[in-house]
């Protein structure tokens, strides 16, 4: 009877239902074991052999049990004790005994009752897979593929047999995880047992309702999907609830409390509370679906996108651009930390800002969207966020990380921050140093990279010189961090504080005073009503298009005049650009309409200081210099962080490839004014380089195609619409 030729030898499945049959069929089809089946229903054994699920029928006697290498108990959980009692006299210490039951505490208790203590060769398990069908005819050899299998090893489990159990589950295609028994039962009570209880109860309640016939007659897909699991085996689920009574009741009490809150919200007409629950629930389910999709399909491949630009004659019209992306991040976070409701208008809700907004929603902030960048944010106060159900994922948004990290450091719950793509290998040494300067409890991965793990801590007042090179993001981090101590915050920075950001903080009751040494004062963060100014990258791109294209006359509404925009316009004035401000300054950000017309350009110089202050715009300014007569010089580029220099290197390669002339000389970037012929431009997936290449392409003699633009379109999804409004002839294609 012993089979030593196959990897898992002789395997006995006790209980040839859908789970046990699927396990047997998968192993048998792969030739990994000789399969035996035992079942109190003789008909199931006959079907098991005739349909190729098992090799041999078997009895739970000495002849069978003593010759098994692996025994899998696939019976209802309430039958485990009797099965273990029956096979106990014949089990060898080297035989792996495991189960597939939905509860683990009751199974371990049964083993202890039978054996006195759980034997080392008994290791419980539970596959997170199944269907409504039952019986051996429902056996599916692919049932466990890309599904979780939870193993719950006990303190004295045999390590060799534990390893074998891992290999056994992997052999049928499962993703194996380990978990302790108590944690398993509480997790499954919430994720599996409670949904079944709700489905059974709902269907039963409606079936006995006064209008039951019409209820079922007009029930749509939502009712069908929600109640699908009420078709599961009633006997099995009765046993599950009785076996996992305590964990199920704990979860049920939590649910009924929330249900009572929802009922009260309906009674009170409290739409904001309902909306908050619905958005948090949607976020949680979307997270679950993403995990399921990744487990099933793997990470989706990014589709390459190109933008072709035809030679344009002129840019004309009156245009209002979406709000500044940098300010949008900050406005959402401050509104979330405020006491009260904030009404925000012209918020950029695309690209990285979606990451910040989703993180806030995951932590319980109600954010209502009304279209066209208008949102209502229901603030929860500085320390009113809720623990998210999963790690906060900042994806590839460093800005989200810089602005959320100080918020998370000040909360009363532990939380992990994860990321994706290039951000995985990016060190955040200076951000961590800032957090630790106020005694934040944060642990990073190797080399100061993500993930970060935050633990609640009492933060001390901020009083430091900002670590590393000055940046607007780190300065905003310092301001937000100051909100979580009892005293004013103080920090020093070589960089001037951006006036638009200062105005935004002031709108929420946060005062940032000083020029190089800053004091942060705030009695309370209050809600605000704000309309954000036009995004600076998009505004500059539009201004430069009008400047280089003959016949252009463009008016941009809602442009903030102060801060870095003034510095940019000083550079453009040096190059000969023609522009004028119209109307009186409006609102918190002193916005005005900016009128720009075509102008012949001359070479210009960026000083070291200007290159640093305008580093986010250097790519666009370099593309502009290609159309300026003479030799433009950009100083201080090598002193910028490496990724800025990487952008310039990509830009240089593109310009020179299509007939321009740009080179390094003694650490200075030299750009010779020379309109290029046109051709293909590879942005290397950088959105700012892609935007600069689109500017460059607009006046190429023969047009150009910019490759690898998918990240640009993620940040500015309506780019084609903006181009059409401006009169730029371009087309997007994969």
CATH classification of the domain holding 84: 3.40.50.720
Residue 282 lies in a domain: no
Residue 671 lies in a domain: yes
Predicted pLDDT of residue 217: 75
Q: Based on the fold, state whether residues 481 and 463 are members of the same structural domain.
A: yes
* 8 Å CB contact between 105 and 185: yes
Residue 31 lies in a domain: yes
CA distance 469 to 453: 24
CATH code, domain carrying 704 = 3.65.10.10
Phi/psi at 530 (nearest 5 deg)?
-135, 145
Predicted pLDDT of residue 303: 75
Q: Based on the fold, state whether residues 110 and 165 are members of the same structural domain.
A: yes
Domain termination residue (choose one: 161, 179, 197): 179
For tokens 């005049």, name the residue: 561
Q: Based on the fold, state whether residues 482 and 546 are members of the same structural domain.
A: no
Q: In what order do the strands lie in the sheet with 392-393?
A: 392-393, 415-418, 452-455, 441-444
Domain termination residue (choose one: 531, 561, 592): 531
Predicted pLDDT of residue 724: 86
Look up the domain containing 434 and give its range. Answer: 323-531
Kindly state the helix (H) or strand (E) to which residue 288 belongs, with its residue range: helix 271-297
The 10s digit of each residue's pLDDT in 479-501 is 999 999 989 999 999 888 999 99
Domain count across the chain: 4
Domain termination residue (choose one: 204, 224, 259): 259
Predicted pLDDT of residue 56: 96
Please state, in angstroms and as integers, the Cα–Cα distance from residue 147 to each residue in 295, 390, 417, following that order: 8, 19, 25
Q: Based on the fold, state whether residues 351 and 497 are members of the same structural domain.
A: yes
Predicted pLDDT of residue 232: 82
Residues with pLDDT less than 50, the chain = none
Residue 264 lies in a domain: no
Q: Based on the fold, state whether residues 235 and 367 are members of the same structural domain.
A: no
Predicted pLDDT of residue 324: 96
Q: Based on the fold, state whether residues 367 and 334 are members of the same structural domain.
A: yes
Assigned token pair, 680: 């293909």
pTM for this model (two decimals): 0.75
CATH code, domain carrying 210 = 1.10.3660.10
Residue 476 lies in a domain: yes
Q: Which DSSP string corresponds to 262-279? A: HHHHHHHT-HHHHHHHHH
* 8 Å CB contact between 63 and 36: no
Residue 516 lies in a domain: yes
Q: How many CB atoms lie within 10 A of CB 287?
A: 17
Q: Based on the fold, state whether residues 517 and 462 are members of the same structural domain.
A: yes
Predicted pLDDT of residue 117: 94
Residue 299 lies in a domain: no
Q: Based on the fold, state whether residues 417 and 487 are members of the same structural domain.
A: yes
Q: Based on the fold, state whether residues 106 and 227 are members of the same structural domain.
A: no
Residue 308 lies in a domain: no
């Amino acid at each position: 009877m012993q089979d030593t030729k196959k990897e898992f030898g002789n395997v006995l499945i006790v209980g040839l239902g859908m789970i046990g049959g699927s396990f047997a069929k998968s192993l048998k089809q792969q030739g990994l074991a000789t399969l035996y089946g035992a079942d109190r229903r003789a008909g199931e054994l006959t079907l098991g052999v005739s349909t190729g699920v098992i090799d041999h029928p078997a009895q739970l006697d000495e002849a069978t049990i003593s010759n098994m290498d692996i025994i899998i108990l696939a019976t209802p959980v309430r039958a485990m004790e009797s099965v273990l009692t029956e096979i106990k006299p014949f089990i060898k210490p080297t035989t792996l005994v495991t189960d597939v039951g939905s509860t683990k505490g009751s199974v371990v208790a049964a083993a202890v009752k039978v054996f006195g203590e759980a034997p080392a060769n008994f290791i419980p398990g539970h596959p997170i897979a199944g269907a409504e069908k039952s019986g051996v005819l429902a056996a599916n050899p692919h049932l466990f593929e890309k599904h979780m299998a939870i193993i719950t090893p006990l303190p004295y489990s045999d390590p060799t047999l534990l390893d074998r159990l891992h290999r056994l589950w992997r052999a049928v295609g499962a993703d194996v995880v380990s978990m302790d028994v108590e944690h398993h039962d509480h997790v499954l009570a919430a994720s599996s047992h409670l949904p079944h209880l709700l489905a059974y109860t709902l269907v039963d309640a409606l079936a006995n309702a006064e209008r039951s016939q019409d209820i079922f007659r007009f029930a749509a897909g939502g009712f069908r999907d929600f109640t699908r699991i009420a078709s599961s085996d009633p006997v099995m689920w009765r046993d599950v609830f009785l076996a996992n009574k305590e964990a199920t009741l704990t979860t049920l009490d939590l649910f009924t409390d929330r249900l009572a809150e929802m009922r009260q919200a309906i009674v009170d007409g409290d739409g904001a509370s309902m909306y908050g629950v619905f958005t948090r629930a949607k976020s949680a389910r979307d997270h679950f679906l993403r995990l399921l999709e990744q487990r099933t399909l793997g990470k989706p491949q990014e589709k390459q996108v190109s933008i072709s630009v035809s030679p344009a004659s002129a840019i004309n019209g009156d245009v209002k651009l979406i709000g500044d992306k940098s300010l949008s991040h900050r406005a959402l976070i401050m509104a979330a930390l405020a006491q009260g409701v904030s009404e925000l208008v012209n918020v950029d809700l695309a690209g990285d800002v979606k990451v910040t907004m989703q993180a806030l929603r995951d932590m319980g902030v109600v954010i209502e969207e009304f279209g066209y960048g208008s949102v209502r944010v229901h603030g929860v106060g500085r320390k009113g966020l809720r623990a998210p159900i999963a790690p906060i994922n900042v994806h590839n948004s460093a800005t989200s990380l810089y602005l959320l990290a100080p918020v998370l450091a000040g909360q009363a719950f532990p939380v992990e921050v994860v990321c994706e793509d290039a951000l995985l290998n990016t060190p955040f040494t200076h951000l961590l140093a800032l957090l630790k300067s106020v005694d934040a409890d944060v642990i990073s991965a190797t080399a100061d990279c993500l993930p970060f793990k935050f633990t609640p801590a009492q933060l001390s007042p901020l009083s430091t010189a900002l670590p590393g090179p000055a940046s607007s993001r780190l300065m905003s981090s310092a301001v937000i961090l100051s909100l979580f101590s009892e005293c004013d915050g103080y920090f020093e920075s070589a960089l001037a504080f951006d006036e638009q950001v200062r105005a935004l903080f002031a709108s929420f009751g946060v005062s940032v005073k000083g020029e190089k040494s800053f004091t942060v004062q705030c009695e309370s963060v209050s809600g605000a009503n704000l309309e954000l100014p036009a995004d600076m990258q998009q505004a500059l791109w539009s201004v430069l298009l009008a400047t280089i294209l003959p016949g252009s006359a463009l008016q941009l509404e809602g442009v903030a005049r102060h801060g870095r925009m003034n510095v940019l316009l000083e550079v453009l004035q040096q190059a000969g650009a023609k522009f004028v401000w119209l109307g009186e300054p409006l609102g918190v950000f002193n916005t005005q309409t900016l009128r720009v017309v075509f102008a012949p350009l001359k070479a210009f110089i960026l000083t070291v200081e200007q290159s640093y202050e305008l580093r986010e715009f250097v790519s666009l300014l370099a593309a502009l210099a290609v159309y300026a007569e003479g030799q433009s010089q950009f100083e201080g580029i090598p002193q910028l962080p490496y990724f800025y220099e990487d952008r310039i290197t990509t830009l240089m390669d593109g310009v020179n490839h299509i007939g321009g002339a740009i080179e390094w000389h003694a650490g200075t970037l030299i750009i010779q004014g020379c309109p290029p012929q046109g051709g293909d431009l590879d942005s290397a997936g950088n959105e700012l380089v892609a935007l600069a290449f689109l500017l460059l392409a607009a006046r190429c003699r023969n047009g150009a195609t910019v490759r690898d633009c998918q990240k640009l379109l993620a940040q500015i999804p309506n780019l084609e619409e903006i181009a059409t409004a401006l009169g730029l002839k371009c087309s997007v294609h994969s």
